[in-house]
Every structure is written in structure tokens, then in C-alpha cells.
Amino acid sequence: MNKSINSDKAVAYGVAVQAAVLSGDKFENVKDLLLLDVTPSLSFETSGGVVTVLIKCNTTKQMRTFTTYSDNQIEVTFDIDHNGILGVSAVDKSMEKENKFTTSNYKGHLSKEDIEHM
């Protein structure tokens, strides 16, 4: 842990940067800045009842590929965008069917309508 950084100043700086980004400020030092929230752990149950973490908590983006236990199983994809919206798609390759689901119902996150309004 770096103790030379004043925590109050770090928080104030972060709030100022976030305000500049959200207000559309055109200052050079925040023009191309993209702030990403970190995610909670996302996991699923694999063969034998083993819970496998797909995306570890406090990461901004991660990809992981698993082999299936047997042929013709369903392929599941998790995607979290920069607004914290989780998209899940499942493809049954043997039947050529796909289902998609999107949610942003994380406690404390904005709704899709709120995000579009901003």
C-alpha cells in the first residue's frame, strides 16, 4: 500500500475527473479518458457441481475459454460493458438456437434509460 498518497485528495481528484467526464468536458487531460467500474465475481457451475469463476472480482475485463464435458453442449458468453450492463448469450450448437439476456439490475447502478438519458 502506498501511504504517500492522501486518501481524501485521491477521492476528491477521482470525483473531479468523473464529473469532467460525465459533463462532456473537452479538457485535453480528460478528453480520451474512459473510466471503468470493476465487477463482482461472475461464476457458473461446471461438470460435477464445481463452481468456476469466469470473471474475477475487481477486474475491468477478462476472457476465459473452457472445453466442454461432452460434445454438443451449450456455449455461454458473459459480457460486461463499460456501463456495467451484463449481457449473457447461450448458443445450443446442435440445434442452432441462441438466447440472449441483458441486465443492469446491479444495486447502485443506473438503469438503461438513465444511461441513455445522460
Given this model, what pLDDT does residue 63 score? 60
pTM over 0.85: no
Domain locations in the chain as residue ranges: 60-117
How far apart CA 66 and CA 52 sit, in angstroms, is: 10
- Residues of the chain under the 50 pLDDT cut: none
In this structure, which amino acid lies at residue 8?
A: D
Q: Can you give the pLDDT at residue 99?
A: 92
At 44-65, the pLDDT tens digits run: 887 788 888 877 777 766 666 6
CA distances from 117 to 11, 17, 83, 106, 114 (A): 26, 20, 13, 18, 5
* Residue 82 backbone zone (phi > 0: left; psi -120 to 50: alpha; other: beta): alpha
